Chain A
Amino acid sequence: KAGVTQTPRYLIKTRGQQVTLSCSPISGHRSVSWYQQTPGQGLQFLFEYFSETQRNKGNFPGRFSGRQFSNSRSEMNVSTLELGDSALYLCASSYEGAGELFFGEGSRLTVL
C-alpha cells in the first residue's frame, strides 16, 4: 500500500512569491492534515480537510490556504511568501481524522 506522497520535496522561492504544495494520501484515507515544522516552533497544525471541506484550522494567517479534491488529494498554498515561511511542510492522512495519522516525507520550502 503506497504511503503519503508529497510534491515537490524541495523548492526555493523569493519573498512575495506564492507556492503550491501537493499531497496524495494513502488510498482510502479521506482526511488530510497539514503541519508546518520549524526548529523554533516545532510541529504546528495548519488545517485539516475531510471530504473536500476544511474541517479544522490552526492559528496561521490567511496567506495559508488549502483545498481537497474529490479523490482526497490535497493542495496547500502560501501567498506573499515571507522569510519566516521557510519550513518543512508535512501532510498527514488518516481514514477519518481520529487516531493514527501517517505522514509524508514533507516539502522543504526555502524563502530567500
Chain B
Amino acid sequence: GQQLNQSPQSMFIQEGEDVSMNCTSSSIFNTWLWYKQDPGEGPVLLIALYKAGELTSNGRLTAQFGITRKDSFLNISASIPSDVGIYFCAGQYSGGSNYKLTFGKGTLLTVNP
C-alpha cells in the first residue's frame, strides 16, 4: 500500500526560530493536507494543497505541493509556544471515488520559550 515518510520525527526549537518538515511518498497524490494535533484532540486542518507546484500560506505557515506529486513540505516561521503539537501530513489520491487519506507518522514539535 501507499507509504508516507514524514521527517523529522521530532524537533526541539527555540521560540522565534523557523521550522521545516516534509513528507515523501512512494506514490503520487493529487491532494496534500497538513494537520496539527494537540494531545487528546482531533487533528485540525492547517493547509490544503491541490495542484503540483502550488505554494500556499496560512499566516506563519507555508506549504508546498511538490512538482513530482510525491512530496510536500510545511514551514512555520517565527515559532511561538502555542505551535507545540504533532504535525501530520496526509495525501489523498481521489481516483475512482476512493478518497481515503494516507497519513505520515507525524512530527512532534516542541518550542522552548
Interface residues of A (CB under 8 A from B): 4, 6, 31, 33, 35, 42-43, 45, 48, 50, 55-56, 58-59, 90, 92, 94, 97-106, 108
Q: How far is the CB of A70 from chain B (nearest CB, A)?
A: 20
Interface residues of B (CB under 8 A from A): 1, 31, 33, 35, 40-45, 48, 50, 88, 90, 92, 94, 97-106
Q: How far is the CB of A43 from chain B (nearest CB, A)?
A: 4
Q: Which residues of A contact B99 (CB under 8 A)?
A: 31, 33, 48, 55-56, 94, 97-98
B100 touches A90 (CB 8 A): no
Q: Which residues of B contact A45 (CB under 8 A)?
A: 100-102
* Contact status of A104 and B42, CB under 8 A, knowing A43-B88, A98-B31, A98-B94: yes
